[in-house]
Amino acid sequence: MAEHIIVLGGGVIGLATAYELRMRGLDVTVLEVQAFGGQASGAAAGMLAPYSEIGEDPDDFFKLCLSSLRMFPKWQQEVKAASESSFEYTESGSLHCVYHEADLLSLSTRKGWQKEFGVEAHILTRAQTKKLEPELSDEVIGAIHYPEESHVYAPDYVRALEKACERTGVALYNHLGELTLEEWESGVLVRSKDGRVFEADQLVISSGAWAKEFEKLLSLNIPIYPIRGQICAYKLAPERIRHIIYSSQGYLVAKADGTLVNGASEDIAGFETSVTEKGINRLTNWNYRMLPFLKEETPFHQWAGLRPATQDGYPLIGRLQSAERIIFSAGHYRNGILLSAVTAKAVADLAVKQNPSISLDRFVPERFS
């Protein structure tokens, strides 16, 4: 009989992992307290942009992100085939723009260390940058062009993962309300508010910004907390902007459906997912310095989500030493969409007792305990 595994949390991390676990032959059940993809994953801009996001340090986190980016061309095809559905995946490349002479030096530093990892990067003058994106402001003094960076339409990607799970035989339960983990030593037993009991051999905890709730129960220190991201979108003629436009103040991503997504502010507001005037103004007070035409435009849509941040900025991925039936997989902060592919594969490796192809030493979930 196949091993049975429960995945707690139906965001991008839980669903991608559930699908991969099913592909490894396990019986998989996903339990979600609200709606699948209803939290951070459905709110994300969908950038797969490790080179823009991580400029300082070629550490294990960068390697994790890089390996996921390189998995994506094949992974997204697999998810599309398994789900018999489609979602936008655009290999747009990105322009990481700078506005001050002093920042040009940091671009060459980045390019220097990224080269060791085979990253394709080109430092561009203002004229070269504007040749690639003519709508960019003249305030831009240069950019680093990363042809490999890409993006997905996150809500559709998460829906496709859900469908891929459904079509491959993962048992999916959402809107369960409160769930209680009652047993994790002699087996796994989770009880829902309405009295249903779910039993398994192993458990994956992928409940994003809510993962801290297991701290007391498992006698662990789990410093995961929500950082609200506020984000907005404009209507845009197709092809008007072709690259991800990234800067130290925010980013703009043009989607195939004719929207331009502008993200994202960061603030601490507990589990509040409302949008504030201050949060959106933080974007609109700056975005026209990237694309001047935005000064005349008003966003048609604004929303927010809760990034699962951790104390040291790295996710918690690994099997618990103190509770060997439990694999922890949360805290993907700003890069959970990007990291979904590599996380799914690494957690599935752990579940079938294989060594993950990438080192998880830096991400040991018990490192704070």
Nearest to 49 by CA among 276, 338, 263: 338
| Rounded-to-integer distance, Cα 94 and Cα 52, Å | 8
Examine residue 46 and tell whether it contacts ligand FAD (CB under 6 A): yes
Examine residue 246 and tell whether it contacts ligand FAD (CB under 6 A): no
What secondary structure does DSSP assign to 70-96, as a single string? Answer: HHHHHHHHHHHHHHT----EE---EEE
| Rounded-to-integer distance, Cα 331 and Cα 225, Å | 8
Examine residue 289 and tell whether it contacts ligand FAD (CB under 6 A): no
- Burial call 94-118: b when 16+ CB within 10 Å, e when fewer: bbbbbbeeeeeebbeebbeebeeee
**Contacting residue, 179, 317, 342, 360, with ligand FAD by CB under 6 A:** 179
Examine residue 152 and tell whether it contacts ligand FAD (CB under 6 A): no
**Contacting residue, 34, 106, 249, 276, with ligand FAD by CB under 6 A:** 34
For 84-183, where are the alpha helices, taking DSSP H only?
A: 101-115, 126-132, 154-168
Which one of the spans 280-288, 305-313, 318-326, 348-356 is the region binding ligand FAD (CB under 6 A)?
A: 305-313
| Rounded-to-integer distance, Cα 258 and Cα 243, Å | 14
Report the first-to-last Cα separation within the chain, whole angstroms.
Answer: 35
| Rounded-to-integer distance, Cα 62 and Cα 50, Å | 7
The site for ligand FAD, by CB under 6 A, has a size of 41
- Smaller CB distance to ligand FAD: residue 5 or 45? 45
Examine residue 309 and tell whether it contacts ligand FAD (CB under 6 A): no
Examine residue 72 and tell whether it contacts ligand FAD (CB under 6 A): no
- Smaller CB distance to ligand FAD: residue 82 or 261? 261
Which one of the spans 25-33, 105-113, 137-145, 196-204 is the region binding ligand FAD (CB under 6 A)?
A: 25-33
Say which amino acid occupies 122: H
Within 13 Å and on the Cβ side, how many CA atoms surround 7? 35
C-beta of 227: minimal distance to ligand FAD in Å? 8
Examine residue 336 and tell whether it contacts ligand FAD (CB under 6 A): yes
Which one of the spans 87-95, 100-108, 130-138, 329-337 is the region binding ligand FAD (CB under 6 A)?
A: 329-337
Examine residue 252 and tell whether it contacts ligand FAD (CB under 6 A): no
| Rounded-to-integer distance, Cα 262 and Cα 45, Å | 8
Examine residue 333 and tell whether it contacts ligand FAD (CB under 6 A): yes
Positions in the binding site for ligand FAD (CB under 6 A): 8-14, 31-34, 38-41, 43-47, 179, 206-210, 229, 231, 263-264, 305, 307-308, 330, 332-338
